[in-house]
């Protein structure tokens, strides 16, 4: 809750914090960290072990060798007992007389997971019931001269949730339990805890317990700063900015002082008289920015830079400087535009950043590990950099996980990744008992105050899919009882969460749910008849049985906030958590890791629509080929769907369209298992993520067929207008040297638009290329300007399913690895004697990333680079490298 994560690093920020978050007459606040080695025991005392804080019980048990890797094979089932037991964390510490003599001493927990009684020297100082809250307890009078004993008694979250369910006897609050296939625990909606920790359709059940954030003592005489937030607001009438600064202060007594705010770079400075306390108070100040100054704006990735300014905050009492700190300020505006569209029923739904309509490109974020203490900064950096490098500009922090750590949002600020931030409620009805509402209120207040200074967050959203669950009756609620649930829904998300957010943060929009019809849902009493209506708001859409190559199956929505297909991670990711007998698609292990009903079969059914399924007689080869084919299927399906959304940005067809967002489900994985992710647990990119680099490119050619006519759209997210033509090359499956090309006329492609640039019956196209039929040829295409310069990636269009392709040979691909002259990076040069689709390079467990992968080889040779994330060598890479293409698996 301090400014640590936020300290400005600009050269222009010359002021360092004199006393980091100190505001007192003469003395500093004293802080004593209680992080480190605690001891941990279970309820009957059979287990005693050291435990790291921050941390959780599972991690401690593993570190001390009491359990294996919880992710290994079936260990999620074997270790179910851990969350059914109660656990106690204990630490003994001494404090200086100086600290004890302060007027106020607080025991602060930044995160307790979840239900606990806290005892200091045998006295209960407080209770907790919400993982998402910071708790502090006044403990001055309880501290001893010598040893102090601090105990945190944690109650089994599974038992607690079930007890709360029993106590709620008037009506059920569904779902009672997750589907059997998830092998999870029940009633997670009764506990304010990461909802996916009781299992999800992509993750295991590890209901964690522990102290998952910092623990410390804070002592002061007069007052202390709890939180600083700064939110820039733009007045379009005056064309001027102002910064709303809030100081949240805990004060022993009423204290007067003066606060000076300044941004020297913008020639702006103002001084205010301020009165703090007594108790916890919020003081607001407004710094007006000199209108003549040219304010540099924060832009989403791909639309500009992410500059910031240092806001200096100084506090003085009787002319003595007692506070000096600084806060990063990024200037940007965000509007969610919902207004009538000519030629279409319904309302638009798009984001305008700094006045510019922006197409949101990206994915959905889930917790990066079941055990949050394992989410190291490097893990976050790698995942978020991977998002930015795939040309994403947005991520939705999904409502069944956690409000992420500060670093997550700071990185998004720096990378230009817009965050759609859900509140942590997902796929369920929730109780509205007084104590539940009260703890949620505190959670929401704290999280909004903690996060609202981040420009990356562009929207708050109340929950994941709960409007849809209620509207489309996921839980078989009798019609007569529906009003009870509607009332609870409005109470929780509208009367409480929305009201608090609107009070605390006027700088960004709030949506009650996702998917939702937005303004239309509000009109319909907050729960629309059909929250999936493509004429309003956002949609989530999944179909595993319909042919994903057929764009007609996708809703032409205003905003696609969830859609996707599953795939398996690669063998090198599965290997450390499995043994030989697991390495088959039909093994118990393969079924066990699949948490989505019928998921393994669905992947093969979808793949079989267009590809021959692997049938090697070598069982291990067949298994790894099957993993590969699921990734090919997923990459091609999500590509097709995303390209459909991107090309729909400018048009209205039968009243639908003006799509302005494509966030596929899901970016990352929580463990090594099949899921909708594009990045495997551990950070390895699936084929889909390599494809995303292209299908999210700023300028993109999209090709598809409508009634046997080939259409190519030019999609541009640029600000500038271009003149482009489509260049199509027709290749023969049988022979890479047989090709003919066709170019369209130059056409204007306005910035921020999708336009038809080529329209040609397939028959005419093939007729122009003598030897070709649908079965013998395929197309690649790109966009180029009048000078012949290519804009955006080269794309492909298959005229038949590759399984029907005539002349497709098993290629002989040879690869040569060389170290680049600069060192640390390697090049892989491939030679192929025939056309090879979906060429996949895999270097096993050598972590790193290729520049391109899963590509179509229509030329005889190509070179890609590999950047390793640890030292490696040409020898190791050559040994590890395998090359697979479509024709190799059958």
Ligand X SMILES: *[C@@H]1O[C@H](CO)[C@@H](O)[C@H](O)[C@H]1NC(C)=O
Q: Which residues bind ligand X (CB under 6 A)?
A: 42-44, 46, 81, 85-86, 155-156, 267-268, 290, 292, 581, 588, 612, 615, 617, 812, 814, 831, 890
Torsion of CA 519, 525, 528, 531, to 10 degrees: 50
d(CA 390, CA 219): 46
Measured from the CB atom, is 30 or 266 closer to ligand X?
Answer: 266
Instruction: List, in order, residues 6 or more apart from 791 with CB less than 8 Å away.
Output: 699, 722, 724, 782, 783, 784, 785
CB of 402 to ligand X, least distance (A): 25
d(CA 848, CA 683): 8
Whether 352 contacts 366, CB under 8 Å: no
Measured from the CB atom, is 474 or 890 closer to ligand X?
Answer: 890
Between the alpha carbon of residue 12 and those of residues 9, 264, 298, 415, 679, the distances in Å are 8, 9, 18, 21, 38
Three-state DSSP class for residue 385: helix
Q: Is the dihedral of CA 347, 353, 359, 362 positive or negative?
A: negative
Measured from the CB atom, is 379 or 605 closer to ligand X?
Answer: 605
Measured from the CB atom, is 46 or 97 closer to ligand X?
Answer: 46
CB of 46 to ligand X, least distance (A): 4
Measured from the CB atom, is 156 or 333 closer to ligand X?
Answer: 156
CB of 622 to ligand X, least distance (A): 9
d(CA 687, CA 580): 25
Which DSSP state fits 738? -
CB of 155 to ligand X, least distance (A): 5
Between the alpha carbon of residue 396 and those of residues 197, 417, 456, the distances in Å are 19, 10, 11
Residue 577: other Cβ atoms inside 10 A: 20
Report the first-to-last Cα separation within the chain, whole angstroms.
56
Return the structure tokens found at 407. Answer: 């670093």
d(CA 888, CA 315): 69
Measured from the CB atom, is 481 or 586 closer to ligand X?
Answer: 586
**Closest to 859 in 3D by CA, of 818, 888, 817, 831:** 831
Q: Is the dihedral of CA 848, 850, 855, 857 positive or negative?
A: negative
Which DSSP state fits 616? -
Measured from the CB atom, is 305 or 435 closer to ligand X?
Answer: 435
Between the alpha carbon of residue 425 and those of residues 1, 428, 497, the distances in Å are 23, 7, 11
CB of 595 to ligand X, least distance (A): 17
Return the structure tokens found at 224. Answer: 């202390």
Between the alpha carbon of residue 709 and those of residues 704, 712, 728, the distances in Å are 8, 10, 14
Give one DSSP letter per residue of 20-63, joined into a string: TT-B-SSS--EEEE--EEEEEEETTSS-EEEEEESEEHHHHHHH
Measured from the CB atom, is 293 or 519 closer to ligand X?
Answer: 293
Place of tokens 């005889």: 860
CB of 267 to ligand X, least distance (A): 4
Measured from the CB atom, is 80 or 168 closer to ligand X?
Answer: 80
Alpha carbon 10 to chain centroid, angstroms? 28
Phi, psi dihedrals of residue 269, rounded to the nearest 5°: -155, 135
Measured from the CB atom, is 108 or 155 closer to ligand X?
Answer: 155
CB of 475 to ligand X, least distance (A): 29
Three-state DSSP class for residue 662: strand
Whether 867 contacts 877, CB under 8 Å: no
Catalytic residues: 465, 562
Whether 668 contacts 408, CB under 8 Å: no
d(CA 881, CA 705): 37
d(CA 298, CA 294): 13
Measured from the CB atom, is 581 or 721 closer to ligand X?
Answer: 581
């Amino acid at each position: 809750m301090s400014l640590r994560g936020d300290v400005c690093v600009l050269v222009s920020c010359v002021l360092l914090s004199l006393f980091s978050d100190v505001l007192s007459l003469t003395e500093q606040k004293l802080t004593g960290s209680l992080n480190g080695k605690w001891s941990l025991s279970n309820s009957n005392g059979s287990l005693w072990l050291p435990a790291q804080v921050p941390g959780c019980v599972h991690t401690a048990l593993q570190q001390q060798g009491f359990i294996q890797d919880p992710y290994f094979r079936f260990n999620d089932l074997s270790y179910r007992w851990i969350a059914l037991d109660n656990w106690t964390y204990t630490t003994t510490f001494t404090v200086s007389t100086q600290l004890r003599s302060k007027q106020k001493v607080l025991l602060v927990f930044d995160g307790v997971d979840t239900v606990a009684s806290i005892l200091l020297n045998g006295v209960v100082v407080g209770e907790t019931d919400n993982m998402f809250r910071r708790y502090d307890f006044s403990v001055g009078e309880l501290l001893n001269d010598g040893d102090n004993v601090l105990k945190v008694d944690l109650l089994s979250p599974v038992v607690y949730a079930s007890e709360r369910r029993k106590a709620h006897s008037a009506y059920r609050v569904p779902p009672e339990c997750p589907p059997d296939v998830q092998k999870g625990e029940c009633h997670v909606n009764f506990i304010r805890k990461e909802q996916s920790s009781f299992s999800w359709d992509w993750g295991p059940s590890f209901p964690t317990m522990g102290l998952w954030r910092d623990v410390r003592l804070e002592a002061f005489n007069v007052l202390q700063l709890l939180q600083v937030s700064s939110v820039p607001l733009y007045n379009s009438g005056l064309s001027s900015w102002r910064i709303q600064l809030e100081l949240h202060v805990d004060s022993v007594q009423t204290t007067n002082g003066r606060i000076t705010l300044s941004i020297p770079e913008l020639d702006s400075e103002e001084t205010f008289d301020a009165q703090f306390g007594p108790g916890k108070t919020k003081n607001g100040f407004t710094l007006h920015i000199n209108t003549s100054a040219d304010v540099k704006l924060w832009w989403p990735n791909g639309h500009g830079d992410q500059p910031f300014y240092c806001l200096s905050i100084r506090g003085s009492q009787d002319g003595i400087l007692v506070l000096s700190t600084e806060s990063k300020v990024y200037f940007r505006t965000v509007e969610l535009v919902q207004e009538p569209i000519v030629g279409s029923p319904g309302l638009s739904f798009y984001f305008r950043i700094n006045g510019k309509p922006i197409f949101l490109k990206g994915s959905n974020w889930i917790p990066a590990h079941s055990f949050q203490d394992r989410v190291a900064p490097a893990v976050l950096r790698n995942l978020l950099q991977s998002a930015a490098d795939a040309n994403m500009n947005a991520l939705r922090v999904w409502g069944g996980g956690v409000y992420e750590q500060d670093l997550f949002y700071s990185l998004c600020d720096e990378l230009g990744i817009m965050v759609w931030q859900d509140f942590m409620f997902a796929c369920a009805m929730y109780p509205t008992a007084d104590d539940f509402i009260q703890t949620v209120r505190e959670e929401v207040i704290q999280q909004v105050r903690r996060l609202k200074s981040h420009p990356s967050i562009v929207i708050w959203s109340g929950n994941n899919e709960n409007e849809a669950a209620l509207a489309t009756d996921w839980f078989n609620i009798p019609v007569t009882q529906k009003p009870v649930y509607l009332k609870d829904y409005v109470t929780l998300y509208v009367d409480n969460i929305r009201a608090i957010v609107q009070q605390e943060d006027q700088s960004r929009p709030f949506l009650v749910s996702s998917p939702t019809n937005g303004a239309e849902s509000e009109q319909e009493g907050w729960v629309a008849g059909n929250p999936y209506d493509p004429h309003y708001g956002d949609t989530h859409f999944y179909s595993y049985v319909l042919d994903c190559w057929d764009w007609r199956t996708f809703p032409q929505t205003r905003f696609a906030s969830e859609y996707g297909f599953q795939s398996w991670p690669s063998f090198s990711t599965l290997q450390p958590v499995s043994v030989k007998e697991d390495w088959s698609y039909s093994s118990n292990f393969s079924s066990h890791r699949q948490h989505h009903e019928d998921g393994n079969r669905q992947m093969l059914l979808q793949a079989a629509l267009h590809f021959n399924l692997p049938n090697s007689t070598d069982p291990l080869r067949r298994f790894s080929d099957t993993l590969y084919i699921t990734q090919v299927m997923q990459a091609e399906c999500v590509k097709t769907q995303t390209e459909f959304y991107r090309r729909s940005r400018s048009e209205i067809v039968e009243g639908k369209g003006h799509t302005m967002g494509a966030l596929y489900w899901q970016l990352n994985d929580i463990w090594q298992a099949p899921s909708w992710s594009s990045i495997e647990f551990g950070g390895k990119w699936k084929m889909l993520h390599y494809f995303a680099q292209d299908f999210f490119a700023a300028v993109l050619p999209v090709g598809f067929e409508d009634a046997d006519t080939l259409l190519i759209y030019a999609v541009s997210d640029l600000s500038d207008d271009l003149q482009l033509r489509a260049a199509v090359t027709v290749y023969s499956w049988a022979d890479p040297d047989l090709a003919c090309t066709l170019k369209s006329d130059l056409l204007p492609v306005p910035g921020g638009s999708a336009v038809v640039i080529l329209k040609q019956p397939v028959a005419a196209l093939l007729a122009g290329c003598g030897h070709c039929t649908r079965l013998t040829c395929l197309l690649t295409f790109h966009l180029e300007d009048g000078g012949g310069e290519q804009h955006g990636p080269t794309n492909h269009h298959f005229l038949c399913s590759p399984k029907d392709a005539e002349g497709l040979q098993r290629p002989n691909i040879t690869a040569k690895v060389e170290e680049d002259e600069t060192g640390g990076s390697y090049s892989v040069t491939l030679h192929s004697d025939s056309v090879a689709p979906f060429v996949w390079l895999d270097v096993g467990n050598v972590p790193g990333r290729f520049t391109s992968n899963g590509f179509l080889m229509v030329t005889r040779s190509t070179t890609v680079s590999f950047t390793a994330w640890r030292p490696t060598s040409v020898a190791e890479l050559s040994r590890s490298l395998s090359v697979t293409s479509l024709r190799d698996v059958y």
